[in-house]
């Protein structure tokens, strides 16, 4: 296979950044939408939940499609749909239209997650792919740290609609570049990939494979805690007295913490291997998640009692997620797209449940966020301890998934 263009990771970053900005840059505007669209906090929070649900289940289709027809057409056509959905968000006049448009955003952006991970797995050798995934996430994170800040400034200067217009422009520009630079990495297209029988069989084998579930389920639970914060965090910190601009600055702290975890992952994977990075990451997740309710029960309140534990939590996710993804993608190299889709579906579905749990539990008190986050962290540690491959810590061979 020809050497991938040097510019390819940068274009994928720009496209992935657009999908992440549609969550991060949007966060400071969520409390404002309650007033502008004359709705309730629950309905505004639902715009995040439906995005995650659409994101989750769409991947079940994109994975087999990319196995059958290739990564390139799925990424490009899905991206075109994402741009259209983002424009619909920008022109929404009611909360119902915005909820529907956000769901459509999730349905279309799922094509990126599947094809990006599969493309990296197929174009680069495993540890190089892990490093690229971590570096790409770091580059995204640097911008994401500024995303809420930019979103707050856009909200104050131009209104909430421009948080979507900016995303649409960025995604459209990246897609034009990908059209010219993106190679087709799938050299073993599977003509049976869309046949219902083999498709259900592949999903069934993955969902009953201990190695795969041992990576996807713990990762999904850790991710769900972060999505719980994304769903209600802007309202909680608003009620703590923060302005949209101040909230964006607190959000940047959490993202910078996530970046430090990613940096550790990219630097230490050769020295410690996948297993030890994941264990250390989940231990950090648990410390951050449990310290938030502990501080609340001890009577320690204020913004920092929320933000600092979440920052520790984010460090743990950053250091563990790239190794988890690469190990999961190695379980069945003959169906990388379907594996990526199933991994994405599970993690995003559990993330959606975390979002919905936070939405239903939220009552303005820190414990209504802290307890769901702590429960998700505990589940991630327990599932990993019970389901991880037995040889993972002594010899984590990506090619075999051991």
Q: What is the pLDDT of residues 272-321, one digit of tens each?
A: 677 778 888 889 999 999 999 999 898 888 888 888 999 999 889 888 88
Packing angle of the helix pair 336-361, 95-123 (nearest 10 deg):
150
pLDDT classification of 251: cutoffs 50, 70, 90: confident
Asked whether residue 396 carries a pLDDT value surpassing 50, the answer given is: no
Run of H or E residues at 381: helix 367-387
- Looking at residues 85-90, what average pLDDT do you find? 96
- Lowest average pLDDT, out of 95-99, 129-133, 253-257, goes to 129-133
Residue 30 CA to residue 148 CA, distance in Å, equals 11
Q: Round to whole Å and give the CA distance between 35 and 135.
A: 39
Residue among 73, 72, 103 nearest 85 (CA): 103
Taking only the tens place, the pLDDT of each residue in 6-21 is 788 778 778 877 877 7
- Per-residue pLDDT band for 44 (boundaries 50, 70, 90) equals very high
Q: How many CB atoms lie within 10 A of CB 297?
A: 10
In the structure, what pLDDT confidence band is assigned to residue 144 with cuts at 50, 70 and 90?
low
C-alpha count within 13 angstroms, C-beta hemisphere, residue 7: 10
Instruction: Please write the tens of the pLDDT for every residue from 164-218.
Output: 999 999 999 999 998 988 888 777 777 766 777 777 777 788 888 888 888 889 9
Class of domain 8-387 as given by CATH: mainly alpha
What pLDDT, on a 0 to 100 scale, did the predictor assign at position 259? 78
Range among 26-30, 188-192, 257-261 with highest mean pLDDT value: 26-30
Give the model confidence (pLDDT) of 108-121 as tens digits: 988 887 787 777 77
Distance CA 393, CA 93 (A): 53
The DSSP-derived string for 80-139 is HHHHHHHHHHHT--SHHHHHHHHHHHHHHHHHHHHHHHHHHHHHS-HHHHHHHHHHHHHH
Write down the mean pLDDT value for the chain: 83
Choice between 142 and 175, residue whose per-residue pLDDT is larger: 175
* C-beta of residue 392 within 8 angstroms of C-beta of residue 275: yes
Other Cβ atoms closer than 10 A to 169: 14
């Amino acid at each position: 296979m020809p050497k991938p263009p040097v510019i390819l990771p940068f274009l994928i970053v720009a496209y992935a950044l657009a999908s992440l900005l549609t969550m991060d840059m949007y966060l400071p505007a969520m409390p404002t939408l309650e007033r502008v669209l004359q709705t309730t906090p629950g309905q505004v929070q639902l715009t995040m939940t439906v995005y995650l649900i659409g994101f989750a289940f769409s991947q079940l289709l994109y994975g087999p499609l990319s196995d059958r027809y290739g990564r390139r057409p799925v990424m490009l056509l899905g991206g075109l749909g994402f741009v259209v959905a983002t424009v619909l968000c920008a022109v929404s006049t009611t909360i119902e239209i915005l909820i529907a448009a956000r769901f459509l955003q999730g349905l279309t952006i799922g094509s990126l997650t599947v094809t990006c991970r599969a493309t990296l797995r197929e174009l680069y050798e495993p540890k190089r792919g892990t490093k690229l995934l971590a570096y790409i996430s770091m580059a995204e994170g640097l911008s994401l740290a500024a995303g809420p800040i930019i979103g707050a400034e856009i909200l104050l200067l131009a209104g909430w609609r421009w948080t979507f217009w900016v995303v649409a422009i960025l995604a459209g520009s990246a897609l034009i570049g990908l059209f010219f630079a993106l190679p087709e990495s799938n050299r073993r297209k599977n003509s049976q990939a869309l046949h219902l029988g083999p498709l259900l069989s592949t999903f069934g084998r993955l969902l009953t494979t201990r190695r795969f579930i041992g990576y996807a389920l713990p990762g999904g639970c850790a991710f769900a805690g972060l999505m719980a914060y994304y769903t209600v965090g802007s309202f909680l910190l608003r009620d703590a007295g923060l302005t949209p601009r101040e909230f964006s600055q607190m959000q940047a702290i959490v993202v910078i913490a996530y970046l430090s975890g990613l940096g550790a992952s990219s630097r230490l994977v050769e020295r410690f291997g996948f297993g030890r990075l994941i264990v250390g990451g989940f231990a950090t997740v648990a410390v951050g998640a449990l310290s938030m309710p502990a501080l609340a029960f001890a009577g320690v309140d204020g913004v920092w009692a929320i933000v600092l534990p979440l920052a520790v939590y984010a460090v743990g996710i950053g250091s563990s997620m790239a190794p988890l993804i690469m190990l999961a993608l190695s379980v069945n190299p003959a169906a990388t797209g379907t594996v990526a889709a199933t991994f994405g579906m599970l993690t995003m579905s559990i993330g959606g449940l975390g979002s919905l749990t936070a939405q239903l539990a939220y009552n303005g008190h820190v414990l209504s966020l802290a307890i769901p986050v702590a429960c998700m962290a505990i589940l991630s540690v327990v599932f990993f301890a019970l389901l991880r491959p037995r040889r993972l810590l002594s010899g984590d061979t990506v090619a075999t998934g051991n």
